């Protein structure tokens, strides 16, 4: 905690800390995308770049897996994270949403919000506001004591997130403001919007300080912001210094020198800045979201973002370019972070494996097709089964597949249906037996009108034009399945779906990079920690393994592969995030 209470205000020309002009030099660092054992390291490196503030979102859906639960365990301990920010002598900006986007699953909104039917999210609808109030009832008592006036690091909090790009409901913004104030939040409140007339008009309210989000043309963007807010400090509260990646595309990068020149312009104008991102981190587990502007595009596991600090916490060219610019306007510590050292290269064979089909659960019976949500699956995989017996070749068809379905009959693969591609498939001639459809949720949409949509198979389902109405459906309990013993294997390819296991030895605890080349599509755990998804379509070719996940001695790796493993386990010297757009 800070040694003494402080005041923070929005002055007529500047932010004011204890009555003195203060320029915010901030970096986005999402505690929920970084292993907690590495929080202090990432925060310290932000200060070494010359920053004085850390900004983070709060993911409602990660903290509240059900309406009746609230977790701050492990990587969700936001209080500890903010205490580390304070211990580094830095300030904090907190953005609690309730909607955060952040390329995070469902934009941070819990899937359970939508299970009772359509809900008017991000609006003054009483049902939605009641849920938000419950969320704030848990969160705000944790944050209020950490405000600067009470000796904590928090100097600003944000109301909603780029609301002007979504809607125009002033009553909603007023209600959120009231909930924050009633919850004990006394620091200044801000909004953020892309600097267009409509978004700035619809995205804020009197008494809320407006900020802008952009990644280029700062003179033009800040001039638009100034037209809407004649007084007060200018701030780019999201300076997009990179971008996120989607499966099947390329790895996004931007030019460090061009970006640094834009930073210099913002600072020369007297503006404050928040780098989005300073350190992106990783979409561990099943936390990555998806975008859908007519085409569904799920995000990769890495959230490297081409940021000043890469996914593994190593400074990039942008770190040094920004540091040089910041030094022109503020004091920068002499200390510098270390450069990358090569991680160990390790190769081991899979030792045991077990067919996933041997571990498939029994399900509940349904007369029609339930969605994943209707069987309680907020993410991951759901298995649909139904008996068939047809003559000749017939076509299996669904109204929609969300998002990827593996079709098999009595365990024999038939094919794959992918959202945005075909939603029908021809079955083998005279097919009979148990039709199995394993559906994977690739990530819930985090931006736009498709937030909150159901996942799974969307009915009706027909075979040869005749409706299929006898279904058995069950979510996969991957935590249980991955721990079941397999039988010894002696190398060579492994046919999926399969759980494969390997052990590897380490002489010291350090970061690793798992090479997934030669693997198809699946999920990886190391020592029970879910690293996330891999996919042969790229661009990402390695999975980052944070050093706190491993230990000296024997470590256990488990892979759930859906198609085929044609390569052993290989750890390589550094990250491989794929080809870039040049």
pLDDT in tens, 315-348: 999 999 999 999 999 999 999 998 889 999 999 9
User: How does residue 582 score in pLDDT terms, banded at 50, 70 and 90?
Assistant: low
Q: What is the pLDDT of residue 247?
A: 98
Beta strands in 428-467, from DSSP E residues, in sequence order? 432-440, 456-463, 466-467
433: left (phi over 0), alpha (psi -120 to 50) or beta: left
The hierarchical CATH code for the domain 8-327 is 3.20.20.80
Tokens read off for 571: 């750890």
Please check whether the two domains, 8-327 and 361-475, share a CATH topology. Answer: no
Q: 412: Cβ–Cβ under 8 A, 6 or more apart, which residues?
A: none
pLDDT-above-70 percentage for the chain: 99
**Per-residue pLDDT tens over the stretch 488-520:** 998 889 999 999 999 999 999 999 999 999 999
**Per-residue pLDDT tens over the stretch 50-100:** 999 999 999 999 999 999 999 999 999 999 999 999 999 999 999 999 999
Domain range 346-354+479-572, CATH architecture: Sandwich (2.60)
Mean pLDDT of all residues in 199-226: 98
The 10 Å CB-count burial string (b at 16+, else e) for 355-383 is bbeebbeebeebeebbbbbbbebbbbbbb
Tokens read off for 514: 């798992």
Mean pLDDT of all residues in 293-312: 97
User: How does residue 3 score in pLDDT terms, banded at 50, 70 and 90?
Assistant: low
The residue annotated as part of the active site, out of 55, 88, 103, 162, is 162
Write down the residue that tokens 């002009």 correspond to: 21
CATH 2.60.120.260 holds for 361-475: yes
Query: Which helix (H) or strand (E) element contains residue 63?
Result: helix 60-63
Any catalytic annotation for residue 238? yes
User: How does residue 119 score in pLDDT terms, banded at 50, 70 and 90?
Assistant: confident
The residue annotated as part of the active site, out of 88, 238, 436, 561, is 238
Any catalytic annotation for residue 83? no
What is the rounded distance in angstroms from the CA atom of residue 441 to the CA atom of residue 286? 9
Domains of the chain, residue spans: 8-327, 346-354+479-572, 361-475
């Amino acid at each position: 905690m800070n040694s003494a209470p402080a005041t923070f205000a929005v002055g007529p020309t500047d932010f004011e800390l204890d009555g003195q002009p203060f320029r915010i030099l901030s970096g986005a660092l999402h505690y929920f995308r970084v292993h907690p054992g590495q929080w202090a390291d990432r925060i310290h490196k932000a200060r070494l770049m010359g920053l004085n503030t850390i900004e983070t979102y709060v993911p409602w859906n990660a903290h509240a897996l059900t309406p009746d639960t609230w977790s701050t365990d492990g990587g969700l301990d936001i209080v500890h994270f903010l205490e580390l920010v304070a211990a580094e002598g830095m300030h904090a900006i907190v953005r609690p949403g309730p909607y955060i986007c952040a390329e995070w699953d469902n934009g941070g909104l819990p899937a359970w919000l939508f299970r009772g039917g359509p809900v008017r999210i991000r609006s003054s609808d009483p049902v939605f506001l009641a849920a938000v109030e419950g969320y704030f009832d848990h969160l705000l008592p944790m944050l209020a004591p950490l405000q600067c006036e009470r000796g904590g690091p928090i100097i600003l909090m944000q109301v909603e997130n780029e609301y002007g790009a979504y809607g125009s409901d002033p009553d909603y913004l007023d209600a959120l403001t009231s909930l924050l104030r009633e919850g004990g939040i006394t620091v200044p409140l801000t909004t953020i919007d892309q600097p267009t007339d409509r978004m700035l008009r619809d995205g804020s309210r009197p008494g809320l300080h407006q900020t802008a989000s952009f990644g280029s043309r700062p003179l033009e963007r800040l001039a638009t912001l100034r037209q809407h807010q004649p007084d007060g400090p200018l701030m780019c509260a999201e300076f997009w210094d990179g971008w996120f990646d989607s499966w099947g595309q390329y790895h996004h990068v931007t030019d460090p020198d061009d970006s640094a020149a834009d930073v210099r312009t913002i600072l020369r104008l007297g503006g404050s800045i928040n780098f989005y991102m300073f350190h992106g981190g990783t979409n561990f587990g099943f936390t990555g979201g998806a975008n859908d502007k007519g085409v569904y595009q799920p995000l990769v596991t890495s959230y490297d973002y081409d940021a000043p600090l890469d996914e593994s916490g190593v400074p990039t060219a942008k770190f040094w370019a920004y540091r040089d610019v910041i030094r022109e306007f503020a004091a920068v510590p002499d200390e510098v972070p270390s450069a990358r050292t090569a991680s160990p290269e390790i190769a081991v064979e899979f030792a045991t494996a077990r067919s996933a089909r041997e571990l498939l659960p029994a399900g509940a019976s349904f007369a029609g097709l339930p969605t994943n949500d209707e069987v309680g699956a907020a993410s991951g995989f759901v298995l649909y089964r139904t008996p068939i017996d047809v003559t000749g070749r017939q076509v299996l068809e669904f109204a929609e597949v969300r998002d990827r379905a593996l079709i098999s009959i009595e365990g024999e693969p038939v094919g794959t249906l992918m959202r945005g591609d075909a939603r029908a498939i021809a079955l083998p001639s005279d097919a009979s037996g148990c039709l199995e459809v394993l559906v994977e949720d690739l990530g819930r949409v985090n931006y736009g009108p498709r937030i909150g949509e159901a996942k799974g198979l969307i009915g009706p389902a027909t075979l040869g034009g005749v409706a299929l109405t006898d279904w058995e459906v069950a979510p996969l309990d991957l935590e249980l399945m991955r721990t079941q013993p397999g039988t010894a294997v002696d190398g060579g390819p492994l046919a999926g779906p399969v759980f494969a296991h390997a052990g590897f030895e380490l002489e010291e605890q350090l970061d690793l990079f798992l090479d997934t080349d030669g693997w198809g599509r699946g999920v990886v755990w190391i020592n029970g920690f879910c690293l996330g998804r891999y996919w042969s379509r790229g661009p990402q070719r390695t999975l980052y393994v944070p050093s706190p996940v491993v230990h000296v001695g024997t470590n256990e790796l488990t892979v759930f592969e859906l198609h085929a493993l044609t390569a052993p386990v290989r750890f390589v010297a550094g990250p491989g995030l794929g080809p870039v757009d040049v």
